[in-house]
Chain A
Amino acid sequence: MPDWKPEIRRRLSGLSLAPTREAEIVEELAQHLDDRYEELLRGGATEEEARRAALVELAESDLLAEELRRVERAVEQNPVVPGATKRRTNVFADFWQDARYAVRVLLKNPGFTAVAVVALALGIGANSAIFSVVNTVLLRPLPYKDPERLVTVWEENAKAGFPRDTPAVANYIDWRDQNQVFEGMAAIADQSFNLTGVGEPERLTGRLVSASLFPLLGVEPQLGRAFLPQEDAPGANKVVVIGHGLWQRRFGGDPKIVGRQINLNGENHEVVGVMPAHFQFPDPKDEVWAPIAFTQQQAANRGSHYLQVVARMKPNVSVGQAQAEMTAIAARLRQQYPEQNADLGATVVPLQEHLVGDIRPALLVLLGAVGFVLLVACANVANLLLARAAVRQKEIAVRIALGASRLRLVRQFLTESVLLAALGGAVGLLLAVWGVGLLKTFIPENISQVRSIALDARVLGFTLLVSLLTGLVFGLAPALQASKFNLNETLKEGGRDSAQGSRGNRVRAALVVAEVAVSLVLLIGAGLLMNSFMRLRSVDPGFSADNLLTMSVVLPRNKYPDSQRRAAFYDEMVSRVEALPGVKSAAVTNWIPLVRQGDSTGFSIEGRPDPAPGEGRRNVVVTRAVHPHYFRAMGIQLLQGRALDERDRADAPNVAVISETMARRHFPGEDPLGKRITPGDATSTNPDDWVTIVGVARDVRQVELAAEPKPQMYVPYAQGWSIFAPRYLLVSTSVEPMSLASAVRGAVWSIDRDQPVSDVRTMEEVLSASLARQRFSTLLLGVFGSVALLLAAVGIYGVMSYSVAQRTHEIGVRMALGAQRGDVLKLAVGQGLKLILVGVGIGLVAAFALTRVMESLLFGISATDPLTFVAIPVVLVFAGLLASFVPARRATKVDPMIALRYE
């Protein structure tokens, strides 16, 4: 008798079984082969024949090992067996088996897998990208200590149209000293610094701050220290804290910078600290902080409102409590100072909310929109899966026949769809990485933290969660359908490819209807934004932005302390710049339009009494102190009277040009020319206090394009308007404006080589930057709408193709009975059209309800703009028809003979 054991052992060698177990198996199998061998010999075989035949029992070399590996593995395997529900199941092992099976299935259908993964990746990637922006801007806590306790406090003057106004110093001091809810309060004021003495002069943006600001935020300088309380007083040593960027850029990261003197605004300041690289407050552009050091005169001022106030709430104090306290204090101050504080309240706004600003609604709308895109992608993939489930009937039939439970089948199908979603999520994450980079360039720069937008653990978690949910959502319909599978029906319907029956078609049709509806909502949203963006772009700003160069030239006060010297500098600058070739005209102004900043002044009209205290405010006018060439350089049209000109010197009578809105509002039915107004005391008889109106100019959108112009006034800066110091140079050119930038800078430096020139931009750029927020949301929603439209079209195409394929036989019969191609086309396209129209109907209702949330993003049209609500559905129906036309045409090509033989 041959010894079988070595042969058997050889085949088991790869299994690393326990030695006793292996011995048992070897013995048992050897016994079997002995029996077989003996039987063969008894049947008349030779020893050699019997030996060979017995060895055949071990079959192909690895089958035994493979089969045993499955069985002998510690985890129990799930067999495809009848009565499966009766036994204990191992969830993990089942899952593992399902997952491996799913991988095989997906690999076998690369086309299907690719289409599904791309659709899902688009949806998931868009979600992750937008979520990472939302996460950074809205969710991630600010980089200060206990940031949820930080708030900003504002004066509230709703009557005058300022719900959040910058507080006056005396009010801030009263708030600070009287409240019980805040641990500390700090004041901040804008200040720019001209840095000289180290290479090229540079204008730096910075802030004057209370010494308490840094401890209040809970941040420490990286080098040196923050301000001492005694440094926050008039007459104290001049000290500054500088930003990390400035330290690196201008001082080469000098480790001995602390203690060094630097020249700012013509005065020496000692650098006492350097902030860390990640620090920004309040604006990313700020690089210098100096003590605010109120003088006694400033500390008593309630008329000049220019501070920003930050406060830290005591632990366990809510924003509501803080607000109540501030309201009470403001009420006391109203009684105490009825003249200055007549209409003033106080508003507490969490710092995060303040910094996020008005991008919040746009981001939330976009987040909703990408959610919709993902839904459309899900519907699409669900449709693909349903179509494929039809092909897999045979597999399902066998498994059910062999007793696989419904739950088990559902789980198998869900595993497949979750795997698909995970693949989509992985590719989507790559898309998101790329998309976030792209998004960063579109987000309006003034949103803080834009630079720090990145994919972090939370975004990854979000993506994972979304992918899993996605897999469950789109996998559920096909899985449930498969589980309701009726064995008898399937087998009865035989080989014909219609076993899903009418119920399957209904589900698929419903999915297409949903896709169309969701896409319509998105497209209408995109349409509304696009429409308002175009309206916004076509708003006439009142000036000509073509060939206009702007830059900031701010004179330091201590070098040019009085308005004569300043005026002399500006006059000289304008004439030197105008002498440059290519320059048509030049001018200066305190603010250029559309930078969302500006100055205004109260005024009284001669012969009209001021309102009594508490009876409302004085008239307010947006004021620009300008060089006489302003109107020429800006291309502002004059409607009446004259522009400012060279006659309007310091010693000439005070004059002003007013805007048409000011003329209409304050001088209705009168000729404003020759009327006199005063920014000061209305009872004054000194002619120097009065300003004569000499002209009326067209309205200019000074603050932003979307805002209706307010009353405006232009005065010559030479006539004592020193509070409105000019800071911008405007150059109107006959050539490409940027090409003159360095020549203009040279002209400025030819007067004062220490004078910084900064922020050089064309007016077109200013205009475009002012629309950054609108461009951002319009562009993105447009992209999302288009993706949804594309996906919906693919969905319609898929359903129509399937339906045409299913009805080949019916179409063949119809054609055999004399139906023309046109009839067949009508039949097929009609079916698609029906789905599209139902979807459009539902989508219109949904859009009507949903686009209202976008109201604050719109300009010049209502959220239910009829044109958009008509035009977009037409586009969608057209796209849908196109998508169903292609398969419909295929239907007309059916050869009746072949179709009938197909039986």
Chain B
Amino acid sequence: MFDRELKKGSAELMILSLVEARPRHGYEISKLIETRSEGVVRFNVASLYPLLYRLEQRGWIKGRWVEEGQRRRRFYRLTPEGRKVLAAQRHTWREFVEAINRITGAEHA
């Protein structure tokens, strides 16, 4: 259960980070997560899109349809509020990871 929540919690952080630099669509986000984590973390449709919608509902990201010839894609960008949240989450996450590192490091020392 906590694995799932852990993943969910960090997933939001990952998504926010990925759309920070420029707007991206869902498939792009899922590919980026998979490749950058070297396959360790993977989201499928069933878990990714609900997350995106939730972040959008909270007003942290904003989706917009963009025509690409025959088809159109929905691109998500970071909102100003989302930018603040991202900063805060990064900070907390870093602290947590450092704490874990200190502990796991101490165990080996």
Taking Cβ atoms with an 8 Å cutoff, the residues of A that contact B are: 24-25, 27-29, 31-36, 56-60, 63-64, 67-68, 70-72, 76-77, 79-83, 86-87, 394-395, 398, 401-403, 487-488, 491-492
Contacts and interface: CB of A to CB of B under 8 A. Distances in A.
Pairs A-B, 5 closest by C-beta atoms: A67-B50, A64-B46, A59-B46, A83-B88, A57-B45
Interface in B35-86: 44-47, 49-51, 53-54, 57-58, 71-74, 84-85
A79 B44 contact: no
Interface of B: 2, 5-6, 8-9, 12-13, 25-27, 30, 44-47, 49-51, 53-54, 57-58, 71-74, 84-85, 88-89, 92-93, 96, 99-100, 103
Given A35-B27, A36-B27, A491-B99, A79 B45 contact: no
Contacts of A58: 44-46
Contacts of A28: 26, 49, 74
A59 B4 CA distance: 15
A403 B89 contact: yes
A27 B58 CA distance: 22
B99 to A, nearest CB: 7
Contacts of A32: 26-27, 30, 45, 49
B50 A71 contact: yes
B70 to A, nearest CB: 11
B54 A79 contact: yes
A72 B49 CA distance: 11
A83 B46 contact: no
A402 B53 CA distance: 21
A67 B50 CA distance: 6
Contact of B99 (A80, A82, A394, A488): A488
Contacts of B44: 56-59
A398 B50 contact: no
B26 A71 contact: no
A114 to B, nearest CB: 24
B45 A80 contact: no
A29 B48 CA distance: 10
B88 A71 contact: no
A402 B99 contact: no
Nearest to B73: A31
21 contacts: A28-B74, A31-B25, A57-B46, A58-B45, A64-B46, A68-B50, A68-B53, A71-B54, A76-B57, A79-B8, A79-B9, A82-B89, A82-B92, A83-B88, A83-B92, A86-B85, A86-B88, A87-B85, A402-B6, A402-B96, A491-B100
A395 B6 CA distance: 11
Contacts of A488: 99
The interface centre, meaning the residue of A25, A34, A87 with most chain B CB atoms within 10 A of its CB, is A87
B9 A402 contact: yes
B71 A31 contact: yes
A625 B21 CA distance: 111
A454 to B, nearest CB: 47
B32 to A, nearest CB: 13
Given A77-B54, A488-B99, A398 B84 contact: no
A83 B9 CA distance: 10
Nearest to A33: B45
A28 B58 CA distance: 19
A398 B73 CA distance: 37
Nearest to A487: B99
Given A82-B89, A491-B100, 4 more contacts: A28-B49, A71-B50, A402-B9, A492-B103
Contacts of B53: 68, 71-72
A71 B54 CA distance: 5
B71 to A, nearest CB: 7
Nearest to B84: A86
Nearest to B58: A87
The interface centre, meaning the residue of A60, A64, A394, A402 with most chain B CB atoms within 10 A of its CB, is A402
B33 to A, nearest CB: 13
Given A31-B27, A31-B73, A80 B46 contact: no
The interface centre, meaning the residue of A35, A71, A82, A403 with most chain B CB atoms within 10 A of its CB, is A82
A79 B51 CA distance: 10
Contacts of B100: 491
Nearest to A88: B58
The interface centre, meaning the residue of B12, B25, B50, B96 with most chain A CB atoms within 10 A of its CB, is B50
A488 B102 CA distance: 10
A28 B30 CA distance: 13
B92 to A, nearest CB: 4
Contacts of B85: 83, 86-87
A552 B105 CA distance: 95
Contacts of B46: 57-60, 63-64, 67
Nearest to A87: B58
A64 B50 contact: yes
A398 B5 contact: yes
Contacts of A80: 5, 8-9
Contact of A82 (B26, B71, B72, B93): B93
A83 B89 contact: yes
Contacts of B45: 29, 32-33, 57-59, 64
The interface centre, meaning the residue of A31, A32, A33, A56 with most chain B CB atoms within 10 A of its CB, is A32
Contacts of A79: 8-9, 12, 54
Contacts of A31: 25-27, 71-74
A56 B46 CA distance: 9
A82 B9 contact: yes
